[in-house]
Amino acid sequence: MGRTFINAGWPYLYDVPGLHNCVPMLFADVYARFHRLGGDEVFFLSGGDEHGSRVEFVARGLRRHPQGLVDEKYAATVPLLEAMGISLDTFARTTDPRHGRFVGEYLARLFERGLVRWRDFDIPYCARCAKHLPDRFVQGRCPHCGDVTYGGQCNNKKTCGRVIASLRDGRCAVCGGGVEFRGRAHLSFPTGPYRPAILPQLRSSKELGPEVLRRVEETFRDVPEAALTRDTPWGIRFPIQDDPGRTVYSWADSLLAKVTFAPEAFWRDPDARRLFFLGMDGVPFYGVLLPSLLLASEEGYSVSNWTLLPNAVLIYEGGVCSKSTGTGIWLQEALSVLEGDLWRFHIYHTYAHAERHADFRWERFAQAVNEELIGGLEGNLARAALEASPGPADTVRLDGVRSLLLGLETAAAFTAVMDLVRDPAASRATLLEATSLLSCFLPRIAARARLRLLGSAVRVFEGGPLSHRALRARYQALVDERRDRLSLEEDITGLRADSLCVCPIDLKEQ
């Protein structure tokens, strides 16, 4: 019996979620299910960064209050995650007042102990908008790679993604005007003192890749002091010097949500395992800022057994799905066409076959489902269900799958379990255990498979083999129906920032 804390990233709530956005969540879900199966105490958390500066930016563009926007997106997101079978314990909302109090008090304690202090930062300011420009509100070039990006963090996630203290050639993302720099006092938090405690913890994680370590060390160099407040009314106020125009940096806010929303034992138990599934752009925050904030608190929060698993979500972003072209596998439509488990199958199957750069093809997807699941699995279950005297379970191969899962080798574990459930020589006892492991990947399909093995007449797949032409046509018709909405959302996510107006939103009034 052990404790495992699992966190998975989810994109900003106003995005139209695509299947590619689910990748960290789907990888995390395998381990939440696997550790629960083994009797571990698991807490599986995800959530929305509802105070993100992009939320405020979009809300202004839409002339809406950000709270209304995030409420709407939350209501739309939860059923999608349920349909995908994501077994979250909590989907945290950073606008929850309980969390606001927790963050305020947390930072106040650090302030009282002198670990955070006011310091002047040069902040870009737009005279035309009469506004200081936090992260998403300023556009320019990354000082490290030269790419065009917004402030805060470089948008070039593949080769850079570094945290940016100050942009080159910055201009206002709202009106396009030039910026000047004005000194503003913000709460500053030096992370350097925690480096000697954090790096050895990360290095001791077998699963942590060299690229992750490199980015962690780079972040300690790039931003030795993190500014924990921003010039925006949309966020959590700092209780010691309450100023309606200056609120807690949304990354600090959303990182601390991992503590607010999880039972304390998962942070205090030094033996608990902590797994973070995220995109590579999350590494500076989960590898540096969160553990530094936890260590600074001296509340007994442990940063041991800390593993960052930036999975292939980025590669997907560059490949299959793109909001800018309006094409991709969008969750809402995808789930109207096929059950969530078949989309889960697609993701694990794709990574298991190292097709990371492959474009999604309906034909290939339908073929894999037809061959491996409908033909391979269903046929094999029918055979085993009739087995007169069940042979012993193949413990060697079953333990092989378990040890791959313990080593977080998702793709190899998926291949091994699929091979096992389709093996015509596997006994019913083996298949019963194998389908239990399969439930980590394909929970609903595995549940029906087990019923079948236990003698029920239930079919694992209704309707027989998939026709890729029919599927594609149904999916495309649904997407076309929603095309107008998709393009609207595309406009507001900032690619046409110059068309946005500044509209004064009184954030005190809802």
Smallest gap from Cβ 152 to Zn ion, in A, equals: 12
Tell me the C-alpha distance between 148 and 131, whole Å.
21
Q: DSSP 3-state assignment of 352?
A: helix
Query: What is the smallest separation between the CB atom of 179 and Zn ion, expressed in angstroms?
Result: 8
Which residue number, 159 or 204, has a Cβ lying nearer to Zn ion? Answer: 159
Beta carbon of residue 137, minimum distance to Zn ion (angstroms, whole number): 8
Q: How far is the CB of 134 from Zn ion (least distance, A)?
A: 13
Q: Which is nearer to Zn ion, 142 or 290 (CB)?
A: 142
Please state the closest distance from residue 429 (CB atom) to Zn ion, in A.
54
Nearest CB to Zn ion, comparing residues 96 and 222: 222
CB of 153 to Zn ion, least distance (A): 9
CB of 502 to Zn ion, least distance (A): 7
331 burial type by CB count under 10 A (0-12 exposed, 13-18 middle, 19+ buried): buried
State which residue, 174 or 288, has the beta carbon closest to Zn ion.
Answer: 174
Q: Which residues contact residue 60 at a Cβ distance below 8 angstroms, ignoring those fewer than 6 apart?
A: 174, 500, 501, 502, 503, 505
Q: Shortest distance, CB of residue 128 to Zn ion, whole angstroms?
A: 5
- Complex with Zn ion: residue 77 or 153, whichever CB lies closer: 153
DSSP-derived secondary structure for 175-211? T--B-EEEEEEEEEEE-GGGHHHHHHHHHT-TT--HH
Minimum CB separation of residue 201 from Zn ion in Å reads 27
- Measured between alpha carbons, how far is 460 from 462 in angstroms, rounded to an integer? 7
**Quick one: 177 or 407, whose CB is closer to Zn ion?**
177
> Which 3 state secondary structure label does DSSP give 81?
helix
| Contacts of residue 142, Cβ cutoff 8 Å, sequence gap at least 6 | 148, 149, 154, 155, 156, 160, 162, 164, 167, 168
Residue whose pair of structure tokens reads 């291949």 in the numeric block: 415
Hey, which residues does 182 pair with through a beta bridge? 123
Q: Which is nearer to Zn ion, 145 or 368 (CB)?
A: 145
Around Cβ 412, how many Cβ atoms within 10 Å?
Answer: 15
Angle CA 412–202–51, to nearest 5? 90
466 Cβ neighbours under 8 A, 6+ residues apart? 338, 366, 369, 370, 374
Residue ranges of E strands in 83-147: 90-93, 117-126, 131-132, 138-141
Would strands 273-278 and 306-310 be described as parallel, antiparallel, or unpaired?
A: parallel
Q: Which is nearer to Zn ion, 138 or 426 (CB)?
A: 138
**Residue 122 or residue 264: which is nearer to Zn ion going by CB?**
122
CB of 505 to Zn ion, least distance (A): 15
Which residues of this protein are in contact with Zn ion, per CB under 5 A?
Answer: 126, 128-129, 142, 144-145, 154, 156, 160, 172, 174-175, 177
Helix/strand/coil percent split, the chain, to 5? 50, 15, 35
| Cβ 347 vs Cβ 26: under 8 Å | yes
Judging by beta carbons within 10 Å of its beta carbon (0-12, 13-18, 19+), is residue 41 exposed, middle or buried? Answer: middle
CB of 473 to Zn ion, least distance (A): 41
Write the CB contacts of 71 (distance below 8 Å, at least 6 apart in sequence): none
Residue 66 CB, nearest distance to Zn ion (Å)? 19
Residues counted in the chain: 510
The rounded Cα 347 to chain-centroid distance in angstroms is 15
